[in-house]
Structure 1
């Protein structure tokens, strides 16, 4: 049985989505915690008109809280996946992730500081992005879209 090698040829859309998530990696914990604070019951009196008074639209505070809990759960799953991928990367790829996506530095600055050739840098970066995209299920989505 052969191992299937990771496809590093990603569409621009998949690459863009993956890089966006990678750049938010360090902020995910803060986002999760702030959303958990929104779940806390409010003890102050609210004098605003209720949502049910705006029209015939259905509105429920319980429904809103349930949707917020599901959103938090999604963020937690993404954070766990990114933690696993980040920890499994080569140390140089972790440095690339930190420098490029967390600190927002330019590619040329990163590979010059790491003292690696630009071809090696872009190969490592491409592998890293493909690994993250695969972990988040973006490659499977891309394959389904191409099959249709």
Structure 2
């Protein structure tokens, strides 16, 4: 798909969701690894009552492990999609993503450091956000 046909005018909610997703890109690997650690079954002798004996519990440890594995799959899928989008962007857009969304810098600082005009910066940023929103079906 060509960027010329991509609608870069996004609603505030779509833009906010997309930017939040882009900002979480650096943390996804840590989240996936911590979920994997939580998903490993514990084989420890325990003299406490088991989940099935506690009464008013809604799910067992096995169900919790299954839900953790589904979360891991979802986070992994999101990370892979973001990887694909990130590496398909122009090098300038990748640097904008790094500085703006991963380092949390202000727009003015980013386009000053990259030595690009502010109009070009905002156009590239809009295109980049539109591509991510399209990839995740927010549009």
TM-score, normalization: structure 1? Answer: 0.84
- Distance in 2 (CA, whole Å) between partners of 1:107 and 1:54 is 54
Q: Which residue of 2 aligns with 1:144?
A: none
Q: Which residue of 2 aligns with 1:143?
A: none
Asked if the contact 2:26/2:102 (under 8 Å) is kept, the reply is yes
For the aligned residue pairs, the C-alpha RMSD in angstroms reads 2.0
Cα pair distance change 1:4/1:48, threshold 3 Å: farther
Aligned-pair distance for 1:4? 7.6
Q: Which residue of 2 aligns with 1:84?
A: 84
Unaligned runs of 5+ in 2: none
Q: Which residue of 1 aligns with 2:67?
A: 67
Aligned-pair distance for 1:30? 1.1
Partner of 1:24, secondary structure, is: helix
Partner of 2:58, secondary structure, is: coil
Q: Which residue of 1 aligns with 2:96?
A: 96
- Superposed CA deviations along residues 96-143 of structure 1, whole A, max 9, x for unmatched, are 00000000000000000001011110010000001001111111xxxx
Q: Which residue of 1 aligns with 2:116?
A: 116
Cα pair distance change 1:49/1:109, threshold 3 Å: farther
Aligned-pair distance for 1:62? 1.6
Name whichever of 100-109 and 7-16 sits farther off: 7-16
Task: Give the paired residue count.
Answer: 137
Q: Which residue of 2 aligns with 1:58?
A: 58
Q: Which residue of 2 aligns with 1:126?
A: 126
Name whichever of 9-18 and 46-55 sits farther off: 46-55
Unaligned runs of 5+ in 1: 140-148
Aligned-pair distance for 1:44? 3.0
- Superposed CA deviations along residues 43-72 of structure 1, whole A, max 9, x for unmatched, are 3344555555252x5322221111111111
- Distance in 1 (CA, whole Å) between partners of 2:4 and 2:109 is 34
TM-score, normalization: structure 2? Answer: 0.89
Aligned-pair distance for 1:24? 1.1
